[in-house]
C-alpha cells in the first residue's frame, strides 16, 4: 500500500500504550498491515510495531532473510501478531546488539530472555500460543516493548554499549 515515515525516538506517540485490536478482517486493519509490511521492507527492518508508524494498535510484524543489517538473523517467515503478550521468559538470558528503525544508525547491547512463550491472535481472530528462541525471541521482545511505549535504550545495562553503528568498535566486530 504505502511506505510510511517511521516515528523517531522523542516522538511522544512512541511512549503510548497501544490499544488492543478487535476489528479482525476489516479493510482498515488490512490496510494498516499492508503499510507496516511495506514500511518494514523498505527500511530493511526485521520487525516493526504499529506505533512506529503512528498507529496505536497492538500489532507487530517480523520477517528476516539475508538482512544486511542483521547478518546473524537467520530466516524468519513474515509473521503478523495481534495483541501479543509474553507469558513466560526463560531464566537464561543473552546480551546482543539491537537496532531500531525509530533510532536510525544506532545500536545498543540489550539483555533479553533466550526463550519466550507468547500468546497472540492471528489474522482470523483466533488466539494461539507459541514458543520461540534466540534472535526470533529477541525481535518479539523488542517489538512488544514498542506496544508498551518502551524503546530499547530503556533496557540498556550500560550506556557504554550504546551509540552510532559506525563508531562502536564492539558492534563493528560483529559485522566481520
Ligand atoms: Ni524498534
Q: Is 157 a catalytic residue?
A: no
The pTM is what?
Answer: 0.95
Give distance in angstroms: CA of 151 to centre of ligand 1. Answer: 7
88-133 pLDDT per residue, tens: 999 999 999 999 999 999 999 999 999 999 999 999 999 999 999 9
Give distance in angstroms: CA of 124 to centre of ligand 1. Answer: 26
Of residues 63, 143, 157, 165, which has the active-site annotation?
A: 143
DSSP-derived secondary structure for 72-136: T---EEEEEEEEEEEEEE-S-EEEEEE--TTSTTEEEEEEEESEEEEEEE-TTS-EEEEEEEHHH
1-56 pLDDT per residue, tens: 799 999 999 999 999 999 999 999 999 999 999 999 999 999 999 999 999 999 99
Strands 162-164, 59-64: pairing is unpaired
Give distance in angstroms: CA of 148 to centre of ligand 1. Answer: 12
Amino acid at each position: 500500500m504505502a511506505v510510511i515515515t517511521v516515528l523517531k525516538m522523542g516522538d511522544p506517540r512512541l511512549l503510548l500504550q497501544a490499544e488492543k485490536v478487535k476489528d479482525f478482517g476489516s479493510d482498515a486493519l488490512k490496510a494498516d498491515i499492508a503499510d507496516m509490511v511495506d514500511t518494514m521492507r523498505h527500511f530493511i527492518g526485521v520487525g516493526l510495531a504499529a506505533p512506529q508508524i503512528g498507529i496505536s494498535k497492538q500489532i507487530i510484524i517480523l520477517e528476516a532473510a539475508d538482512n544486511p543489517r542483521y547478518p546473524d538473523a537467520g530466516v524468519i517467515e513474515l509473521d503478523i501478531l495481534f495483541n501479543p503478550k509474553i507469558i513466560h521468559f526463560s531464566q537464561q538470558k543473552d546480551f546482543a546488539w539491537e537496532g531500531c528503525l525509530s533510532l536510525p544508525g544506532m545500536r545498543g547491547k540489550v539483555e533479553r530472555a533466550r526463550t519466550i512463550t507468547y500468546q497472540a491472535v492471528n489474522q482470523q481472530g483466533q488466539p494461539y500460543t507459541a514458543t520461540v528462541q534466540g534472535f526470533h525471541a529477541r525481535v518479539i521482545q523488542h517489538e512488544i516493548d514498542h506496544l508498551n511505549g518502551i524503546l530499547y535504550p530503556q533496557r540498556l545495562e550500560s550506556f557504554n554499549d550504546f551509540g552510532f553503528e559506525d563508531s562502536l568498535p564492539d558492534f563493528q566486530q560483529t559485522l566481520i
